[in-house]
Amino acid sequence: MALLPEKTDIILTTLNARYRHTAIGLRYLRANLAELREQSRIVEFDISNRPLDIAEKILIHQAKIIGISVYIWNVTLTTSLVKLIKKLSPDTVIVLGGPEVSHEYDEQEIVQLADYTVVGEGEVAFYQLCCDILKNRQPKNRIITPAPPSLDTLVMPYREYTKDDIAHRVIYVEASRGCPYRCEFCLSALDQKVREFPLSKFLEEMVYLLKRGVKHFKFMDRTFNLKIDSACKIFDLFLQHMDSDLFLHFEIVPDRLPLPIKQRIEQFPKDSVQFEIGVQSFNQEVLNRIGRKQDSHETYENLNWLRNVSQAHLHADLILGLPGESMASIEASFNQMLLADPHDIQVGILKRLRGTPIIRHTIPFNMVFNPEPPYDLLYSDQLDFFTMQRLRRFARYWDLIGNSGRFKSFRKILQQRPSPFVDFLALSDWLFATTNRTHKISLMKLFELIYIGSIEVMQIDKEMAVDMIKKDFAASGRGEPPPFI
């Protein structure tokens, strides 16, 4: 007979998007439970798990309180999970938190099902709520809206990462919270200011993680390079501890790379740093409309510098469907981005995240969003539903082809065309008409489709297409040229 897990008073859980991800929010909650910490346990899952199986693994601990972090990618499954838990164990207290339930919560089924919801940063409020529940004191409100805690007094979460986390998963860290920008598609538009953790204490925790063997750090800071002095000191720490296995991910604003930052970026070896760069659009009128302060010329110049001088891996974002943006505007932004040549161009569809100010544009620009997660744009005054569907397929095929790293010769040829966007959109339309699918296309089939499509759709010379496919096929480690050529 299998041994049952130990009972615990508090379970902290969530459904991550992938197994390799870790939920830093749960670790903040546990680290700040003070005397209740030893009465708590973190139990993580991912969205491939079935709610019924998750409920079994949670309820076996016989916890009095279950705290669940809710995000856009897990809210549907988490709603099913909460329903099950309330059927199976109605006396168990369910406390929700996370960005998905911190805004427009009155209309959400999951909030109605749960006992309590903590809105915003909940480290202190969750501890106080658990104290009340465990001492049989009735909390006054079901919806708890605390003030943001002081980062000087919060216990940092990094001691909560386990040996298994360090060995197999991405370790999330943050040196600051908040964002000074007011981009209306982003929840950070609601932030009052940027708040920094005490830098010396943060650096000590990073040294602690390095000594424990952490190799993959993902910084959650919205604008890592905002405070130049702090960013330089963090870069310096990791440069001092650099080895061949260390990998760092930072999200940076693209038009703020002064000399001290550049000098340090140049020192990082190949494959050790990835920068996520939110460009979103090169249309200044559209950027101004959504409150995004960005110098598009400086952004382009810095992308070029990063690509040609540094050895960093560049992951740049474009958003399709911003208010007032036409196909011509999208075409111009994509073409300019491809000319800058970041390694990955993440083409995303605009989402109306709960609570974001982008909602103010819905009537003026006739914007209609999907009522279900991920709340993406269905159509606008500039882009009808069928055009948006084409753009969704464009984004998916671009990820399969342009971002995969397997089709570098194809991508180089595309860059040299008069309008790469027009050509790839035509190829995307043809791929879907030919296969009727955007997923589960084998690599060999994809090579064949690109070969045929480049000739038939893009009108590339056959000899050039053969040479292109041979180079890409060989670079992928497949050996002899494919049989279809």
**Per-residue pLDDT tens digits of the chain, which is 485 residues long:** 455 677 899 999 999 999 999 999 999 999 999 999 999 999 999 999 999 999 999 999 999 999 999 999 999 999 999 999 999 999 999 999 999 999 999 999 999 999 999 999 999 999 999 999 999 998 989 999 999 999 999 999 999 999 999 999 999 999 999 998 889 999 888 887 899 999 999 999 999 999 999 999 999 999 999 999 999 999 999 999 999 899 999 999 999 999 999 999 999 999 899 999 999 999 999 999 999 999 999 999 999 999 999 999 999 999 999 999 999 999 999 999 999 999 999 999 999 999 999 999 999 999 999 999 999 999 999 999 999 999 999 999 999 999 999 999 999 999 999 999 999 999 999 999 999 999 999 999 999 999 999 999 999 999 999 999 999 999 988 778 888 88
Fold topology of 10-144: Rossmann fold (3.40.50)
Q: Which helix (H) or strand (E) holds 443?
A: helix 443-456
CA 100/CA 119 separation, integer angstroms: 9
| CB neighbourhood size of 47 (10 A) | 15
Can you give the pLDDT at residue 1? 44
pTM, two decimals, is 0.94
In terms of Cβ atoms closer than 10 Å to its own Cβ (0-12, 13-18, 19+), residue 350 is: buried
Peptide bond into 482 cis (omega under 30): no
Nearest CA-CA partner of 447 in 419, 422, 413, 474: 474
Per DSSP, helices labelled H in 48-108 are 51-59, 75-88
96 φ, ψ to 5°?
A: -100, 150
Residues 342, 303 contacting (CB under 8 angstroms) = yes
Provide the token pair at 469: 């496919």
Which of these CATH numbers, 1.20.58.760, 3.30.9.30, 3.40.1160.10, 3.80.30.20, describes 170-367? Answer: 3.80.30.20
Can you give the pLDDT at residue 191? 81
Q: Are strands 368-369 and 377-379 parallel, antiparallel or unpaired?
A: antiparallel
Residues 119, 145 contacting (CB under 8 angstroms) = yes
Q: Which helix (H) or strand (E) holds 424?
A: helix 420-435
Instruction: Please report how many Cα atoms fall inside a 13 Å half-sphere around the Cα of residue 108, on the Cβ side.
Output: 28
Can you give the pLDDT at residue 3? 54
Can you give the pLDDT at residue 2? 52
CA 247/CA 404 separation, integer angstroms: 19
Can you give the pLDDT at residue 480? 80
Q: Are strands 10-16 and 40-46 parallel, antiparallel or unpaired?
A: parallel
Can you give the pLDDT at residue 4? 63
CA 285/CA 10 separation, integer angstroms: 50
- Which residues does residue 43 pair with via DSSP β-bridges, in sequence order? 13
403 φ, ψ to 5°?
A: -100, -5
- Tell me, rounded to whole angstroms, the distance of Cα 269 from its chain centroid: 24
- The residue whose two tokens read 């082809």 is 401
Please enumerate in sequence order all residues whose Cβ is within 8 A of that of 172, keeping only pairs 6 or more positions apart, or say none. 22, 24, 218, 219, 220
CA 19/CA 72 separation, integer angstroms: 17
Can you give the pLDDT at residue 181? 87
Residues 453, 430 contacting (CB under 8 angstroms) = yes
User: Is the four-CA dihedral 130, 133, 135, 139 of positive or negative sign?
Assistant: positive
Per DSSP, helices labelled H in 11-74 are 24-31, 51-59
Can you give the pLDDT at residue 477? 82
Nearest CA-CA partner of 368 in 383, 356, 355, 347: 383
What is the rounded radius of gyration, in angstroms, for the C-alpha atoms of the chain? 24
Q: At what angle do helices 75-88 and 51-59 cross, to 10 degrees?
A: 50
* Whole-Å CA distances, 450 to 346, 408, 428, 436, 442: 20, 12, 10, 15, 12
Q: What is the pLDDT of residues 286-305, one digit of tens each?
A: 999 999 999 999 999 999 99
